[in-house]
Structure 1
């Protein structure tokens, strides 16, 4: 079993997305999900928050140098490409992309890792976590 294989997370609420709040690419991902999540199933937790740091550490993510985002779904926490595909599977517009989960992680995660390693250089980084709009603020966990 890989370090980044899904793990049980029965005490966490489904739909919680842990993300790097100072990463421009990660913040765009959150906005992408918000725009398409008509049923408002997902909530967002920046890794830089106290609760985000604790959740990251609990599941083996270095909160000071995160290598992955994560999502809780079905009582399990998913990482890397699994996390992105689990989210996409729940959004009507992107659900067909979930077929990519049939590919082995060993093929999917290297592409994920390449983007993750270079995300600040390619997309940028901010000094503070993204500030959600007033209408979306309730979807952010602190």
Structure 2
């Protein structure tokens, strides 16, 4: 069973009482999901009990992603965002909470207590959390159609290792 999210929304919203029960199927298609008995919202609720800040999931071995995390840290004076590598155990659980496969490192993901954002929507949401002028830039970029933003995002994401390289380990 595949999860279908309307492209016009650009994010997967998890209502506070909803249960997301997903797991990667044993088939060769890594992005095919089936229902499972794990409630990933409940399983990951401890991440938001004491610290309500959103969590930015990123590819820990991608030089572009590590640079993006450093950029966000440098421009987030209030320390509004936490960071977790997609490859970590916590990152995999949060990916499942967001309706993604646990080994899907194709996109930055921003996980809030009740919502998850991927691709360009995640980038715009992250821009809203950091210092000026980025929230204003995010406001203007939101008027670009989602399919255009995601097309540009995916072209960079699909070529990030070739353009920026990769490291042997997560630098953050």
Q: TM-score range by the shorter chain?
A: 0.7 to 0.9
Report what 1:139 is aligned to: none
User: What CA RMSD, in Å, does the superposition of the two structures yield over aligned residues?
Assistant: 2.0
Q: 1:71 aligns with which of 95, 110, 133?
A: 110
Report what 1:37 is aligned to: 76
Gaps of 5+ in 2: 1-5, 17-44
Report what 2:25 is aligned to: none
Greater percentage in helix: 1
Shift of 1:87: 0.9
Question: Which structure's CA Rg is the greater one?
Answer: 2
Q: Secondary structure at the match of 1:51?
A: helix
- Report if aligned partners of 1:61, 1:67 keep a CA contact under 8 Å in 2: no
Report what 1:95 is aligned to: 135
Deviates more, 1:17-26 or 1:72-81: 72-81
Q: Secondary structure at the match of 1:78?
A: strand
- Report if aligned partners of 1:9, 1:77 keep a CA contact under 8 Å in 2: no
Shift of 1:51: 1.0
Shift of 1:74: 6.6
Shift of 1:101: 1.2
1:53 aligns with 2:101: no
1:117 aligns with 2:158: yes
1:6 aligns with 2:12: yes
Compute the TM-score of the two structures, normalised by the length of structure 2: 0.68
Shift of 1:67: 1.5
More contact order relative to length (CA 8 Å, sep ≥ 6):
1
Q: Structure 1 stretches (4+) deviating beyond 6 angstroms? A: none
Gaps of 5+ in 1: 133-142
Shift of 1:122: 0.4
Distance 1:68 1:4, change over 3 A: farther
Report what 1:81 is aligned to: 120
Q: Secondary structure at the match of 1:81?
A: helix
Shift of 1:18: 0.6
Compute the TM-score of the two structures, normalised by the length of structure 1: 0.81
